[in-house]
Structure 1
């Protein structure tokens, strides 16, 4: 009897393990399908991103070429002054907005504003040294 009981318990355990194995196989199959879908989505997004990067690189090349052409139209004296200010300031050019330099936010005198509006020469901010436009 004891042998039959052990056999029955082993059979029950084996049956339970087989059911668990079957459930695990189903879960594995579903997860494999999910992985395939995720890989497909990843590859689509990756391709789209690579296409966007290519477009951006082409636009950057175009802008750099345009920048080079525009730079050729500017006198070397003006470029030298610009480069000198750029060595000291990350943004070497500032706008006058509401009577203030957009670079340092300090008030700009009326005389300086008039000089900028005449467009006859470079005008620098009295506070930060940026070129005003």
Structure 2
């Protein structure tokens, strides 16, 4: 039986990027409900408020956030058994190999370059969602 709602946690300091991805999810999977935070430190703080059954099915982290980057957040998540099992992906405006390698070495399921066209964001949303079912 499929879940009625798919919970996703999105950590990104760019409101436009948040809005684009949320809109793309609404086109590809209407059951997606996205909770957003702006700062990396807010990821753990938010997750700590949730019961086991309320944890998100996926965490999306922006690589570059003002307080700590997505890899640092991922490292913190991996230290907590309750959060380590949640698939996490990173996305960024940078397509640098260093960022991609750093993300994957720290346990990210994938690393995505943020597209500029909405049609490409919709395609990306499908790829991101595939990590929930992997």
Give the TM bin, normalised by the shorter chain. under 0.3
TM-score (norm 2): 0.20
TM-score (norm 1): 0.20
Between 1 and 2, higher relative CO (CA 8 Å, sep ≥ 6) is seen in 2
Q: Structure 1 or 2: larger strand share? A: 2
Q: Structure 1 or 2: larger helix share? A: 1
